[in-house]
Amino acid sequence: MYSIPLADDLGSQLLHGIISWQFLQFVVSFLTIFGFIMTSAVILILWERKFMGWMQDRYGPIHTGPWGLLQTAADVGKLLLKEDIHVANADKATFLLAPSVFLAPVVAAFAVMPFSPYIGIPGSALATGIIYYVAMSSIDVVGVVMAGWGSNNKYAIIGGLRSASQMISYELPLVLSLVGVVILTSVLAGHPGYPGQDGIGTISLREIMDFQNIWHKTGIGILDFIFEGFTPWAWFFLVQPLMLVIYYTCGLAETNRSPFDLPEAESELVAGYATEYSGLRWALFYLGEYGNMAIVSAVASYLFLGGFSGPGVAYLTGLNSLWWGFVGNILGLVYFILKIYLLCSVFIWVRTTLPRLRADQLMQFAWLILIPVTLGNIVVTALLYLVAVQALGLPILAFLIIVGVVNWAAFFGFVWIVGRVTVSSTRKAMAPAIRAQRRAATLPATPLREGGAGQAPQLPQHAGVASGQK
């Protein structure tokens, strides 16, 4: 016989679950993550305008609020109050749902990213964190295509198709650039001080962060306080710098940021797939763009820059004290957000510095340069492990140093090759204009109508006014 639980038992179980530490952790983490997503766009837009103004030797916003700090708040109020205009002959359901489909993966992607040892949704240490992130980042293109198709506008659908081809193309090198990090975790797993089983790596963001912050306690208080859980000399950025650059480049393309902002190129006087949107729905696309910037920067922080690690975080949270644990989590939150905004500043720096690519340059860069380079990095890293560790029996530290030296050399070679290819492709594209200019320079000067060759025509004198007289 099956017994039916009483209502009192169900109520007590529900009450016990609500007042549990795990439920409190969920509430705190959800409010922190959701609040960060909602406010990061406003903060980043203000910082972008100030930062670009400083780089271009001009003022940014200065009128609204002290030092112009309330300008983006005024912009938000304007967008909320603007009329939501719908296109008459648009696919209404697709048109209205597109902004939500574009923004939803941004919110969902942060579910696997703890902001500190405590501020993380329970279960956020997902064993398939990288796969989950890649899956979420692939859904953005659906919202973009829906926006272009539902707008019933030729410019909008061209922008949507551009974005689809761009995001799909750069998704491949983005994923391949992360494989080198997974290989490093496979090599380090099971060795003294490192987590995991021998030879079995991880694709969990939190575990990859732990692989970069290994510290053996020395008993010296100040050293343990600073370096416990914070070892920047072991960050994967030092071993795989080229992959960080390629990942970040693909992140620029995935977020449609300059110089990869062809889907909404300002030179066409339209906003690409968002041409027909206004008010709050247009703001959702803007919020999604800056949210994607934060996601790309957060993942780069976890995989290459040690995540939320920093001086004092692991030491304070390991004291098993409520107060010091709270302070340690606040420190971790501050370190993580500072790393995100520092990397987002690189987005702004690139936008201020580089011109927009042409469509052919954009696609060639992904398929002919980035994908071969990332595949070559995977092969070279694996071969170095087989030769250095398996064949020669060198220690893991020697292997990491060798891989780092090779990768730094490849990084500088990559920068040199990209510079040469850019100059070559630009000259090829400009060749017809250059030839026409040279032909015009070699042609004899055409005589003017009333003067000789190269002489200005004589203007008729005004009646009653002699030459040289006023």
Please report the pLDDT score of residue 2 as a whole number.
Answer: 43
Among candidates 205, 180, 179, 200, which has minimal Cα distance to 189?
200
Distance CA 346, CA 245 (A): 11
| pLDDT mean across residues, the chain | 83
Q: At what angle do helices 322-353 and 279-304 cross, to 10 degrees?
A: 110
Stretch (H or E) spanning 41: helix 21-55
The two tokens of residue 105 are 């993966």
The two tokens of residue 95 are 């048109």
Query: Burial letters for 336-364: b for 16+ Cβ neighbours within 10 Å, e otherwise?
Result: bbebbbebbeebbebbeeeebbeeebbee
Residues of the chain with pLDDT > 90, as a percent, come to 28
Q: Where does the pLDDT of residue 463 fall: very low under 50, low under 70, confident under 90, or very high at 90 and above?
A: very low
Q: To which residue do tokens 């560790």 refer?
A: 389
Please report the pLDDT score of residue 470 as a whole number.
Answer: 40
Distance CA 33, CA 340 (A): 13
Q: To which residue do tokens 């090198």 refer?
A: 173
Q: At what angle do helices 279-304 and 92-109 cross, to 10 degrees?
A: 30
Distance CA 389, CA 61 (A): 56
Please report the pLDDT score of residue 468 as a whole number.
Answer: 45
Distances (CA, A) of 179 to 137, 201, 203, 307, 378: 17, 11, 9, 18, 7
CA angle, 342 as apex, 189 and 403 as ends, to 5°?
Answer: 35
Distance CA 195, CA 376 (A): 28
Poorest-confidence range of 48-62, 290-304, 382-396, 443-457? Answer: 443-457
Please report the pLDDT score of residue 329 as a whole number.
Answer: 92
> In this structure, what DSSP letter does residue 389 have?
I
The domain segmentation of the chain, as residue ranges, is: 17-429
Q: Are 171 and 134 in contact (CB under 8 A)?
A: yes
Most confident of 11-25, 252-266, 403-417: 403-417
Q: Are 348 and 51 in contact (CB under 8 A)?
A: yes
Please write the tens of the pLDDT for every residue from 205-248: 888 998 998 888 888 888 889 998 899 999 999 999 999 999 99
Q: To which residue do tokens 């639980």 refer?
A: 5
Please write the tens of the pLDDT for every residue from 86-113: 888 888 888 889 988 888 888 888 888 8
Is residue 257 pLDDT above 90, yes or no?
no
Calculate mean pLDDT across residues 152-164.
Answer: 84
Please write the tens of the pLDDT for every residue from 410-437: 999 999 988 887 777 777 777 787 788 8
Q: Where does the pLDDT of residue 465 fall: very low under 50, low under 70, confident under 90, or very high at 90 and above?
A: very low
Please report the pLDDT score of residue 342 as a whole number.
Answer: 94
